Amino acid sequence: MNAVRSTLAAAAALAAVFGLSACGEKPQTAHTPKTDTRPFEGPATAYTAPGWTPGNEASWASELQMRTQGQNEYVRIGQQPTVQR
Amino acid sequence: MARMKFICDAERCIECNGCATACKAEHDVPWGVNRRRVVTMNDGVPGERSISVACMHCSDAPCMAVCPVDCFYRTDEGLVLHDKDVCIGCGYCSYACPFGAPQYPSNGAWGLRGKMDKCTFCAGGPEPNFSAAELEKYGRNRLAEGKLPLCAEVCSTKALLAGDGDEIADIFRTRVLVRGKGSEVWGWGTAYGKPAAGSGGEARKEGTKS
């Protein structure tokens, strides 16, 4: 009987430890605003778009310009738009 | 590189919510926060328009002006970002923003509290690029991967444009010039072309079945 009781008590204590572990807060310290790294500075990852070299601002800007123009149908279909007057 | 901006073309937005869904999934946005959402006016009546709204990365951002702890900063690309380690969750920015961009998580013991969250133009935050801290606090950093924000890249009708402000303004301007305005924008002429003179097209335009 005592063994069962002590097992139950141990299980309850373990459950309490695990259950309350989520109640803690991450440590917070006072900060001043940090300086951000520029987007073209990289580093390269598996998801880096092909077509530019991390660290090279000009190639990054040209890659983004290419993607921006990808939103323009007239560039994608290779036709000059006919403007209505 | 000039200033990065968003433009949403209300004539093209079909209220699919693809942008909002992509944003939510890409950045694992906290419960109760929608960095991007689609607003519809005159829902269900002729003239209905939808527009996708998020942080517009204002040139003279009111959120930056009112923040008492100065947690906002502007990047060289013209993006208005914030530092969650400095934010005290006071909520001033959410009252100041005309677009409702800064929002607060709705879970937790204190309800609408916590660190403010907003659209980052998929540019992360002040943490080092691709760091675990950046991913957890701000989401993916697509700009550092050489990509545009996902909301614009997934937009099926290209209603939502993102990129250099001058370039996307040119794209939008050309569209408007091509499609015209008023009744020319949508309807028979847009779908099937303008009828040639004497072809009887005018009768079909009136709605007569052929």
Query: How does pLDDT run across A17-74, given as a tens digit for each residue?
Result: 777 666 666 666 666 777 888 999 989 999 999 989 999 999 999 999 999 999 998 8
B contacts of A38 (beta carbons < 8 Å): 75-76
Is there a contact between A82 and B178 if contact means CB atoms under 8 Å apart? yes
CB B144 within 8 A of CB B123: yes
Instruction: Dump pLDDT digits (tens) for A59-69.
Output: 999 999 999 99
Mean pLDDT for B50-79 is: 94
For residues B80 and B76, give the distance between their C-alpha atoms in angstroms, rounded to a whole number: 10
Q: Do A52 and B146 touch (CB under 8 A)?
A: yes
Q: How far apart are CA B120 and CA B80, in angstroms?
A: 7
Summary mean pLDDT of chain B: 86
- Residue B77 has its nearest CB partner, among A35, A39, A81, at A39
DSSP string, B105-132: ---STTSS-SS-B---TTB--SSPTT-H
pLDDT over 70 (residue B199): no
> Could you read off the pLDDT of B84-132 as tens digits, one per residue?
989 988 889 999 999 999 998 876 655 556 789 999 999 999 999 999 9
Closest alpha carbon within chain B to A63 = B146
Question: If residue B38 lies in a helix (H) or strand (E), which one and from where to where?
Answer: strand B37-41
Domain ranges of chain B: 4-179
Q: Which fold has domain B4-179?
A: Alpha-Beta Plaits (3.30.70)
Query: Could A33 and B168 be called an inter-chain contact, meaning their C-beta atoms sit closer than 8 Å?
Result: no
Q: Inform me whether the pLDDT recorded for B49 exceeds 60.
A: yes
Gap from B141 CA to chain A (nearest CA, Å): 8
What is the Cα–Cα distance from A65 to A52, expressed in whole angstroms? 12
Higher pLDDT, B125 or A76: B125
Measured distance CA(A3)–CA(B178) in Å, rounded: 85
Q: Which residue has the higher pLDDT, A12 or B185?
A: A12
Q: Does A36 touch chain B (CB under 8 A)?
A: yes
Q: Mark yes or no for CB contact A83/B177 under 8 Å.
A: yes
Q: Inform me whether the C-beta atom of residue A24 falls under 8 Å from chain B C-beta atoms.
A: no
Give residue for tokens 């675990």.
B132
Q: Is the pLDDT of residue B203 over 50?
A: no
Which pLDDT score is estimated for B115? Answer: 87
Q: Is the dihedral of CA A70, A73, A77, A80 positive or negative?
A: negative
What integer pLDDT is reported at residue B182 of this predicted model?
A: 65
CA separation, residue B106 to residues A22, A60, B2, B129, B144 (Å): 18, 37, 36, 28, 30
Q: To 5 degrees, how large is the angle CA B82–CA B86–CA B87?
A: 70
Residue with tokens 């052929």: B210
Residues of B in contact with A61 (CB under 8 A): 1
What average pLDDT does range B174-184 have in this prediction? 77
- Indicate yes or no: CB of A65 within 8 angstroms of CB of B148: no
| E strand map for B63-194 | 72-74, 80-82, 160-164
B179–A33 CB contact, under 8 Å? no
Is it the case that residue B11 has pLDDT exceeding 60?
Answer: yes
Q: E strand or H helix at B167, and its extent? A: helix B165-179
